[in-house]
A = this chain, B = another copy of it.
Amino acid sequence: MTNSKLRFRPALSKMKAYVPGEQPQGGKFIKLNTNENPYPPAPAVVEAIRAAADSRLERYPDPVGSSFRRMAAQRLGLPGPEWILCGNGSDEILTILVRGFLSDGDLLRMPTPSYILYRTLAEIQGARCEEISFNADWTLPAAFSSPDGDPRLTLLPNPNSPSGTVLSPQAVAEIAAPLPCPLVVDEAYGDFAEENCIDLVKQHENILVTRTLSKSYSLAGLRFGFLVAQPHVITELTKIKDSYNCDAIAIAAATAAIAASDWQTENRAKILATRERAKGKLRELGFDVLDSAANFLWCTHPDRALKPIYESLKENQVLVRYMDYAGWGDGLRITIGTDAQIDAALVVLARLLQSDA
């Protein structure tokens, strides 16, 4: 800034913007790079949006999304709606948590390799970020649970991205116990796993769970996520959110989505079947592929460079996510699409590996 009238916060001037996965607005890409669900949302969701379009949009929405909170509490077996905070995507929930617990210079703890947005959120807030490396078997070392350094907030994606690995609720409870701060279990991919940490929230004041409707409910375009925490935590964090953070259409659609659990269950089953089939094929092609509890696979290769594979895939209209983590190396994170999308990607991959062999 040349003009001293525009004095942005120093934390902001120093940082780089977070870059989400590519979202090409045109073209005919097979898009396997941002873990979207390949199936559309439930017909009841589309109906709810149509009804909401005619329902007095000139009025402000319910500030706390009561209809969603009631339905979600029922579906998740929570004592009541006061255990839920609605957000404009779980990104907003994460932002609210960072703004709730971290002052300038405070410590945020997170694992690595993991969701790189967390570091950006800490930087925006002016907080410090401590990245604790996963063990080779994707468990976490004791340092992750240690009070050393006085972390004020700990974020743990579970299932994790990019690995797709998951820690059991028991392991999560053991991590939370020695921590001097809230442990936020980011369950963006929780619906694809066999177990989750919702029940832990009832027993542990410092275990908080975030969820999104973007992945398992096929609603990335809608922006709706939520936090599950004990009611006094919800009350305090509600102070931070904008008065009307979720719009009337999103609230109606999200309520319909979480009510339509059969649709979600069926799509989940299809995705898990495709995932297991893709895993086998990728291993046949020579990739090292981790077992996944999410809707994507993390692929490395013992002797092939991965960035050229990512680039060649892109030239062939197949978008996957190439990621490179300091101390861990790189890999390809491949979202599970439809069978047809995955088959098409596998054909291109086989050809690429063949031709360069």
Q: Judging by beta carbons under 8 Å apart, are A236 and B88 in contact?
A: no
Q: Which residues, 49 to 84 on A, are CB-close (under 8 Å) to B?
A: 49-50, 52-63, 66
A302 to chain B, nearest CB (A): 33
- Can you name the residue of chain B whose Cβ is closest to the Cβ of A153? B7
Q: Judging by beta carbons under 8 Å apart, are A25 and B62 in contact?
A: yes
The verdict on A101 contacting chain B, using a C-beta distance below 8 Å, is yes
Q: Judging by beta carbons under 8 Å apart, are B46 and A54 in contact?
A: yes
Q: Determine how many copies of this chain the complex contains.
A: 2
A48 to chain B, nearest CB (A): 9
For the complex, give the distance between the alpha carbons of A286 and B166 in Å: 69
Q: Judging by beta carbons under 8 Å apart, are A221 and B245 in contact?
A: no
Size bin of chain A's contact surface: 35 or more
| Given A12-B236, A180-B5, CB of A53 within 8 Å of CB of B59 | no
- B-binding segment of A13-21, A191-199, A321-329, A341-349: A13-21
Partner pick for A7 among B36, B181, B221, B250, CB 8 A cutoff:
B181
A 7-47 binary contact with B (CB < 8 Å = 1; else 0): 11111110111101001010000010010111111000110
Q: Judging by beta carbons under 8 Å apart, are B240 and A101 in contact?
A: no
The verdict on A306 contacting chain B, using a C-beta distance below 8 Å, is no
Chain B contacts for A232, CB-based, 8 A: 1
For the complex, give the distance between the alpha carbons of A206 and B4 in Å: 10
Q: Judging by beta carbons under 8 Å apart, are A247 and B244 in contact?
A: no
The verdict on A131 contacting chain B, using a C-beta distance below 8 Å, is no
Q: Judging by beta carbons under 8 Å apart, are A205 and B10 in contact?
A: no
Q: Judging by beta carbons under 8 Å apart, are A249 and B221 in contact?
A: yes
For the complex, give the distance between the alpha carbons of A12 and B62 in Å: 23
- B-binding segment of A89-97, A157-165, A274-282: A89-97
Chain B contacts for A249, CB-based, 8 A: 49, 221-222, 249-250
Interface residue SS majority, chain A? loop
| Given A9-B100, A103-B10, CB of A40 within 8 Å of CB of B20 | no
The verdict on A355 contacting chain B, using a C-beta distance below 8 Å, is no
For the complex, give the distance between the alpha carbons of A104 and B104 in Å: 8
Q: Judging by beta carbons under 8 Å apart, are B25 and A66 in contact?
A: yes
| Given A60-B36, A104-B103, A206-B5, CB of A248 within 8 Å of CB of B233 | no
- Can you name the residue of chain B whose Cβ is closest to the Cβ of A218? B58
A 212-233 binary contact with B (CB < 8 Å = 1; else 0): 0010001111110000000011
Q: Judging by beta carbons under 8 Å apart, are A223 and B243 in contact?
A: no
The verdict on A202 contacting chain B, using a C-beta distance below 8 Å, is no
Q: Judging by beta carbons under 8 Å apart, are B58 and A20 in contact?
A: no
A226 to chain B, nearest CB (A): 15
A58 to chain B, nearest CB (A): 4
For the complex, give the distance between the alpha carbons of A41 and B52 in Å: 13
A175 to chain B, nearest CB (A): 13
Other contacts beyond A52-B221, A57-B219: 18, CB < 8 A: A3-B206, A5-B206, A6-B182, A7-B181, A9-B101, A10-B103, A12-B239, A18-B239, A40-B58, A45-B57, A46-B54, A57-B222, A61-B220, A88-B245, A89-B244, A103-B126, A124-B239, A247-B247
A-B residue pairs, 6 tightest by C-beta: A221-B248, A58-B218, A57-B221, A49-B53, A223-B247, A91-B242
